[in-house]
Amino acid sequence: MNRRKLFAVAIGVTVSAGILSACGSTPPKTASGATAPSTATPSASQTNSELTLPVASNPIVNNSATPNLQITYAAAENNVDPATKNPIGDQLELTLKNSSSTPMSGIEVYYEMTDIVTKAKEAYYQKLNGLIIPAKQESTVYFDNKKQAGHYPENQFSLYRSSQNEVDFKIWVSAPGSKIAQTTAIKSKGTSEKPNA
Helix (H, G, I), strand (E, B) or coil at 158: coil
- pLDDT at position 68: 97
Instruction: Please report, in tens digits, the pLDDT of each residue of the chain (197 residues total).
Output: 554 444 444 444 444 444 344 444 343 333 333 333 333 333 333 334 457 899 999 999 999 999 999 999 999 999 999 989 999 999 999 999 999 999 999 999 999 999 999 999 999 999 999 999 999 999 999 999 999 999 999 999 999 999 999 999 999 999 999 999 999 999 999 765 555 54
- pLDDT at position 190: 78
pTM score, two decimals?
Answer: 0.73
- pLDDT at position 64: 97
* H, E, C per residue of 108-150: EEEEEEEECCCCCEEEEEEECCCCCECCCEEEEEEECCCCCCC
Helix (H, G, I), strand (E, B) or coil at 179: strand
